[in-house]
Copies of this chain bind each other. A is one copy, B any other.
């Protein structure tokens, strides 16, 4: 049997070259004259540190995890050496610790006064906008409640790994982790109004107060964000690459709302919108059109997304095929919670959900198995052929004839070419069906491929989904919403 691959080499040149860069970004806000968005500099610096810490600590702590029985066999490999499991815990710890150390940069009065004395006025926002921006960003309690939710998600994810909770029991776990978020949202008298799309305004008006339903929506968002990444798992690099691309998409969206020093135009008419959009220039603050509240929200989102990209990149280096480290549920929990935190606190949950298109597809496809209509085996990962090193769709077996509902669902899915059925030649009963996941769907449509190729297909799909999301958000959304987006 071939042995497990040795740990990936750690380029120490990266350490030597990136530490000074990261340090400069962290120190820069404290130097006079302070830059226009000082905390963003520090956030960038911390994100580089996050990358380096994940890159070096994940392999360093591997043996400790194996000793503590946090290990797993890679099911899709010929070797059976133990691989450290739950190392998402390392990523989550680095991530949260850096987010805590970051607190003084956006929220301390000392740093803020330094920044305002640096003279922002000529560099993007006027004094008034800058002052109100600081006020908006100073929502320390919102930031802290987000950290609490992230830490609870990490804790619960790790408990899930240690106690190996059954999946039916763990679906509602993210609800618990979202409680701090909801409590503080309530205590701060958070907005529970939603903007109604244009065609429905004659019935509901422009704004509708969802009240308690809004809290249900927020907690379901975190449950969905967490579990939808968790069920699109099983092959090397799948969890972390999804998180990485969603985080990058959110960052790209955030950047549109920042006060850029240069002006540029986005040709939105190509996407079906009525007018062109001019981004940047003094006062414009990107898509925020000078609204310091919107700038503040998207800065908040960047503070959470940039270091997430850092840890994900660092971890991906070791989780890439063939994986030297497994994320465990912990990584899915913390990344899922990070996305719901920014979606909720920065008020772009609908846009956020658009970045989850592959996850939504996978979830809907999985529903018949998740809700017990079709039998669901313990693992639904693709089947591995050690001879060819290729993956092919795994199957669920019907030990007893399927119910009429199951038959109907599976035949419909087969007609849509989302699954493949093996039917009994005489009775017509379904004997086997490929498992209902997006990974099996890829293998079904594109043919058997190796694991590395499959994760690349997944990444391309995720990127394509994000491109579609941007098209919908900034093109088609103009048809059902006017500028009044809250």
Contacts and interface: CB of A to CB of B under 8 A. Distances in A.
Given A103-B184, A184-B103, A187-B104, A176 B141 contact: no
Contact of A69 (B69, B179, B183): B69
A26 interface: no
A78 to B, nearest CB: 29
Interface in A404-428: none
A140 interface: yes
Nearest to A151: B151
B187 A100 contact: no
Nearest to A183: B103
Contacts of A97: 176, 179
A68 to B, nearest CB: 5
A145 B142 CA distance: 11
A183 B101 contact: yes
Contacts of A141: 140-141, 144
Given A100-B148, A148-B147, A184 B110 contact: no
Interface string A31-57: 000000000000000000000000000
A82 interface: no
Contacts of A104: 183, 186-187
A261 B64 CA distance: 58
Interface in A205-252: none
Contacts of A148: 100, 144, 147-148, 151
Contacts of A151: 148, 151-152, 155
Contact of A184 (B70, B144, B155): B144
Given A97-B176, A151-B151, A108 B186 contact: yes
A9 interface: no
Nearest to A152: B151
Interface in A172-211: 176, 179-180, 183-184, 186-189
Given A107-B187, A147-B148, A151-B152, A180 B100 contact: yes
Contacts of A371: none
Contacts of A67: 163
A403 interface: no
A170 to B, nearest CB: 14
A109 interface: yes
Contacts of A64: 163
Interface string A55-81: 000000000100111100000000000
Contacts of A183: 100-101, 103-104
A330 to B, nearest CB: 11
A154 interface: yes
A162 interface: yes
Contacts of A188: 140
B140 A180 contact: no
A8 B70 CA distance: 33
Contacts of A184: 103, 140, 144
A151 B155 CA distance: 9
Contacts of A110: 189
Nearest to A144: B144
Interface in A237-290: none
A46 to B, nearest CB: 13
Interface string A134-157: 000000110011011001101100
A142 to B, nearest CB: 9
Contacts of A187: 103-104, 107-109, 140
Nearest to A145: B144
Nearest to A92: B155
Contacts of A163: 64, 67-68
A164 B187 CA distance: 39
A181 to B, nearest CB: 10
Most chain B CB inside 10 Å of its own CB: which residue of A104, A186, A187 = A187
**6 tightest A-B contacts by CB?**
A144-B144, A103-B183, A108-B187, A107-B187, A141-B141, A140-B141
Given A104-B186, A154-B155, 17 more contacts: A68-B162, A68-B164, A69-B69, A97-B179, A100-B179, A100-B180, A100-B183, A101-B179, A103-B186, A103-B187, A104-B187, A108-B189, A140-B187, A141-B141, A141-B144, A144-B184, A155-B158
14 contacts: A64-B163, A67-B163, A68-B163, A97-B176, A100-B179, A100-B183, A104-B183, A104-B187, A140-B184, A141-B144, A144-B145, A144-B148, A147-B148, A148-B151
